[in-house]
Amino acid sequence: MTIAIRVEGVSKRYVLQHQQRERYTTFRDSFASAARRLGKRAIGKATHDSVTEEEFWALRDMDFKIDQGERVGIIGRNGAGKSTLLKILSHITEPTEGRITITGKVASLLEVGTGFHPELTGRENIFLNGAILGMARAEIQRKFDEIVDFAGVERFLDTPVKRYSSGMYVRLAFAVGANLDPEILIVDEVLAVGDAEFQRKCMGKMEEVGSSGRTVLFVSHNLPTVLRLCPRTLLLEGGRLIGSGESSRIIQTYLAAKALGTADRHGLSDVRRIGGMGERFRFTGCSVLNAQGMATNRLLFGEPISIRLDTVANEDIDEVSVAVGFDNYAEVRVATVLSEESGVLYDYSAKQTREITTRPQHFVLKPGRYFVTLGARRQGQPLDQLSQALSFDVDSVPWQEVQPPSETSGIVQVFAEWVGTDG
């Protein structure tokens, strides 16, 4: 197998400068400081601003290889080093240490309008971008109609791109990069700017690029998209590569790290609420209960699930509907249970607390990690909402073979009756 990208011991260092400044100065303070500096110069003393320097390593000791035709995702928290790595792979910046070997022409889409000149028209930028990618004019002309059709900007083709919306920028930039047959396509989170229909087209195009033997690197915080598009994923943390392998396993590792401190949670004081919610009504505690009614963060496959909620109202309020949502390791919603669908609404007086327990029926989750989201509303108006209030794991049982979660095996275990007849 031909190696498309080889990264060996790559590190990137930046030098950050910090200048000490007073938060507030009067004109008299500024005048006095200037006079002191002039006085020091007059008597031959050097003057120095209070500037300190700090080394910041955006990448450290990065080692991996990507084979030709692979579709590889890159995930990690903000500041993990993903964009720095892509800029180095795209030859936008040089590594401080290490070596990168790339076999083939690279097309990069790292931000809106990468490689576009704002004063040129869409038509002119197609030829400019193609030339930057190393394409001959005849090749660009052959692909021109396909690019324009994919981008959907035919009406604005002779308009300067500085007048394009961000969505139009993205559509045209991606269309150029994906349709001019690069051997390696590098795509950052920029696709999030496009609308849902265009994102579907982009996903299909990247799958097509990968299946044709070309290489795709895809950075995104949209984990379901990474799981769908990329069989293999790299996980970055603090500028280091801490995981590489099958996407579902790496994504579970990433989410497990994010979920530290949320498992087996009872209090919710440190959970960030959405907007200004929680003033009239709020959740104050949440826990998963096992079959014995004990709080836990681990359940056995097939064991009934119960969620216990602690709630409080700060004023008289009636007809409160409570919702509990379950998300899987890829942050895909598995199911939501709502009290109002069971005909249950709760009335509260001011300062009243209440413990609520919900027990979803016929609900069997496959082994893996899951997250619980909480919501409350009254007559359709939200009262409180907490995303990923806690997490829990479903473990396989030793006497029963259970397949690990994957993109194709589904999330919920379905037991069915099978009937066959002789022909």
Structure tokens at 174: 């991606």
Task: Tell me the average pLDDT across 107-134.
Answer: 81
Render pLDDT for 308-322 as a digit per residue (tens, 0 to 9).
999 999 999 999 999
pLDDT at 261: 47
What is the model's pLDDT at position 309?
92
- Opening angle at CA 296, ends 292 and 300, nearest 5: 70
**Does pLDDT of 152 surpass 90?**
no
What is the rounded distance in angstroms from the CA atom of residue 202 to the CA atom of residue 291? 45
Q: What would the mean pLDDT of 24-41 be, rounded to a whole number?
A: 63
- Residue among 148, 191, 205, 208 at smallest CA distance from 172: 148
Q: Are 202 and 232 in contact (CB under 8 A)?
A: no
CATH of 281-395, one of 3.40.190.10, 2.70.50.60, 3.40.50.1260, 3.40.1130.10: 2.70.50.60
Q: Which of 317, 318, 320 is nearest to 339 (CA)?
A: 320
Residue 127: both structure tokens together: 């030829």
Q: Please give the CATH topology (third level) of the domain spanning 56-258.
A: Rossmann fold (3.40.50)
Give the other-Cβ count within 10 Å of 371's Cβ.
23
The alpha carbon dihedral of 88, 91, 92, 93 has a sign of positive
Q: Per-domain residue ranges for the chain?
A: 56-258, 281-395
Answer whether residue 9 shows pLDDT above 50. Answer: yes
Residues facing residue 373 across a β-bridge: 325
Q: Over 80: is that where the pLDDT of 272 sits?
A: no
Residue 154 has pLDDT above 80, yes or no: yes
Asked if residues 110 and 124 have their Cβ atoms less than 8 Å apart, the reply is no
Q: Which of 381, 342, 345 is nearest to 359 (CA)?
A: 342
Contact 88, 32 (CB under 8 A): no
Work out the widest C-alpha separation in the chain, in whole angstroms: 110
Q: Angle at which helices 166-179 and 196-211 pack, to 10 degrees? A: 10
This prediction has a pTM of 0.64
User: CA 261 to CA 160: how far, in whole Å?
Assistant: 51
Print the SS3 string covering the chain: CCEEEEEEEEEEEEEEEEECCCCCCCHHHHHHHHHHHHHHHHCCCCCCCCEEEEEEEEEEEEEEEEECCCEEEEEECCCCCHHHHHHHHCCCCCCCEEEEEECCCEEEECCCCCCCCCCCEHHHHHHHHHHHCCCCHHHHHHHHHHHHHHHCCHHHCCCEHHHCCHHHHHHHHHHHHHHCCCCEEEECHHHHHCCHHHHHHHHHHHHHHHHCCCEEEEECCCHHHHHHHCCEEEEEECCEEEEEEEHHHHHHHHHHHHCCCCECCCECCCCCCCCCCCCCEEEEEEEEECCCCCEECEEECCCCCEEEEEEEECCCEEEEEEEEEEECCCCCEEEEEEHHHHCCCEEECCCCEEEEEECCCCCCECCEEEEEEEEEEECCEEEEEEEEEEEEEEECCCCCCCCCCECCCECECCCCCCCCCCC
Q: Please answer whether residues 178 and 212 qualify as being in contact, where contact means their C-beta atoms are separated by less than 8 angstroms.
A: no
pLDDT value for 307 = 92
CB atoms within 10 A of CB 83: 18
Two tokens at 178?
């994906």
382 close to 277: Cβ distance less than 8 angstroms:
yes
Q: How far apart are CA 75 and CA 60, in angstroms?
A: 16
Q: What is the chain's Cα-based Rg?
A: 28
> pLDDT digit string (tens) for 365-402?
888 888 899 999 998 889 999 888 888 888 876 544 44
Q: How far apart are CA 185 and CA 198, in angstroms?
A: 17
**pLDDT attached to residue 49:** 55
Angstrom distances, CA of residue 246 to CA of 172, 232, 345, 402: 32, 5, 44, 19
pLDDT tens profile 56-107: 899 999 999 999 889 999 998 888 899 899 989 988 889 999 999 999 888 7
What is the rounded average pLDDT for all residues in the chain?
Answer: 81
